[in-house]
Amino acid sequence: MFYAPPVARLQTRLVQALVIPAGLGLVAIAVYADQSARGRLEDALAQRLTTVAGLVSQATNPRIALLEAGDEGTRTHQRTSTALQDAAKRANVDRIVVAHFDGHRALVDSAQRTPIGQAYGRARFDRIELERVAGGVPAASLLFQGPDGRPYKTGYAPFSDRDGRGIGFVAVEAAADYADALLGLRLRLALGTVVALVGLVLAAIYAARTVSTPLAQLSDAAAQIGRGELDTPIPGHGPTEAQILAETMRAMAASLKARDEELQLMLAGIAHEVRNPLGGIELFGGLLREDLTGDPRAKHVDKILKELATLSTVVNDFLHYARRTEPEPKPFSAYDLLFDVASVAEKSASDRDVRLRVEASKDLEVEVDVESMKRALLNLVVNAVQASPLGQTVELRAAIEGPEAVTLAVSDHGPGVAPDRRAQIFQPFFTTKQKGTGLGLALVHKTVMQHHGAIHVEDVAGGGARFVVTLRR
């Protein structure tokens, strides 16, 4: 209802504009670092295992390809098994297996898990890798989960006879010990990302406030200037852009003030030049009316005097609307305010057989410039009286509207205000009356805006209009 710069919304958008892209960048960097580290460590493990497999293949006697099921006690098998166990210990791997391509039959297992002649268990999962090994190219498997729940990897190298023909493969299994280190790296990356994001959010909030606070103050000042408060101080702190905008607004306000003062002087001159002849015409018209007492032509003089009174009202309304006067609000009883207005309008209401009724708590106070608000409310009451049918009642009511506002309402039971005209009735010189100046409601609107309030019109049940003025308590 009241103007309030959306500072919080502006700050939120600025924070989002800073944090979201940077946050996504940080997360992307953390994910890339994790994946890159994992890939490098996995490649290094694969390289180590295939190298060990290649060395074992070169050092192993091709005669073990002749081993058959049940040959575990032979000298060749025992010597080869001992050599593989020593190699596994030196290379810090879990298991070394030499197997034949034919059915992937195990020949020697350093861990003694697979007897001679039985299929090497991992072979059925690593068929693609073993096809490469059969072609003479070392290969490594993907990570897999071992019986102990830890990640493992297998490196393969071809195993050839003395003529260089591939007859089998050497498989070297080892746990991916880097997984623990990688988990620690992930935790550090996650913690670092969270800390960086928190720092980024705090920095973004500070930057957003640095930008939004001066902009909000400038927006507030612009709104006050728009309401005609041309002496409003314009803050000049904040970033360079805000300072440049403040300087531009100061120049604009100074230019508006100079033009306003020039306009005031011109209006004062017009009023002086118009009022003097009007006063003379009214004076001589009155004398002429006295001279024509009883003469039928006196009715023409009465019509002239009536039109002069209307013209004088137009000049006064115009000057009131154009004059720049600052209200001086002070706490005042809402009941007394409405009662005083009703007292002034009582005669015009009784002439039209219209009753006035005031409803307000005598304890309710509102902060207003009393005289200007009385003039504004009197305008509303006079309009309501003129719109009311004979014998009806115009209601003046004050009520509390929430914790910080008071409403002053004037209701009638006339024809009401058409919805398509409600946006126009507060514009200067808009009127539906034959001899209306079109400035009455414009003056009311101006007075309410000077009090930083709001005014609107609504329908009354059963017909009529209610003008509601909302003011801060």
Question: What are the residue ranges spanned by the domains of the chain?
Answer: 7-181, 240-322, 330-472
Whole-number pLDDT of residue 408 = 94
Assigned fold of 7-181: Beta-Lactamase (3.30.450)
Q: What percent of the chain has pLDDT over 90?
A: 34
What would the mean pLDDT of 89-96 be, rounded to a whole number? 93
Assigned fold of 330-472: Heat Shock Protein 90 (3.30.565)
Picking from 67-71, 272-276, 295-299, 392-396, which range would have the lowest pLDDT averaged per residue?
272-276
Helix (H) or strand (E) holding 472: strand 465-472
3-state secondary structure 110-137: CCCCCCCCCECHHHHCCHHHHHHHHCCC
Band (314; pLDDT cuts 50, 70, 90): confident
CA distances to 94, 235, 346 from 153, in Å: 10, 68, 101
Q: If we measure between CA atoms, which residue out of 123, 138, 113, 135 comes closest to residue 57?
A: 138
Token pair recorded at residue 424: 């126009």
What string of DSSP letters covers 164-201? S-EEEEEEEEEE-THHHHHHHHHHHHHHHHHHHHHHHH
In whole numbers, what is the pLDDT of the chain averaged over residues? 84
Whole-prediction pTM: 0.47
Residue 438 has pLDDT above 70, yes or no: no
Residue 413 has pLDDT above 70, yes or no: yes
Whole-number pLDDT of residue 2 = 41
What is the Cα–Cα distance from 378 to 383, expressed in whole angstroms?
8
Q: Could you tell me whether strands 365-368 and 405-411 are parallel, antiparallel, or unpaired per DSSP bridges?
A: unpaired
Which string of b and e fits 373-406 if b means at least 16 CB within 10 Å?
bbbbbbbbbbbbbebbeeebebbbbbeeeeeebb
Q: What is the CATH number of domain 240-322?
A: 1.10.287
Reported as a single tens digit per residue, the pLDDT across 14-51 is 777 777 888 888 888 888 888 888 888 889 999 999 99
Whole-number pLDDT of residue 435 = 60
Band (4; pLDDT cuts 50, 70, 90): very low
Could you tell me where the beta strands, DSSP code E, fall in 4-94? none
CA distances to 69, 93, 118 from 109, in Å: 13, 13, 11
Q: What percent of the chain has pLDDT over 70?
A: 92
Residue 260 has pLDDT above 90, yes or no: no
Q: Is the dihedral of CA 360, 361, 363, 364 positive or negative?
A: negative
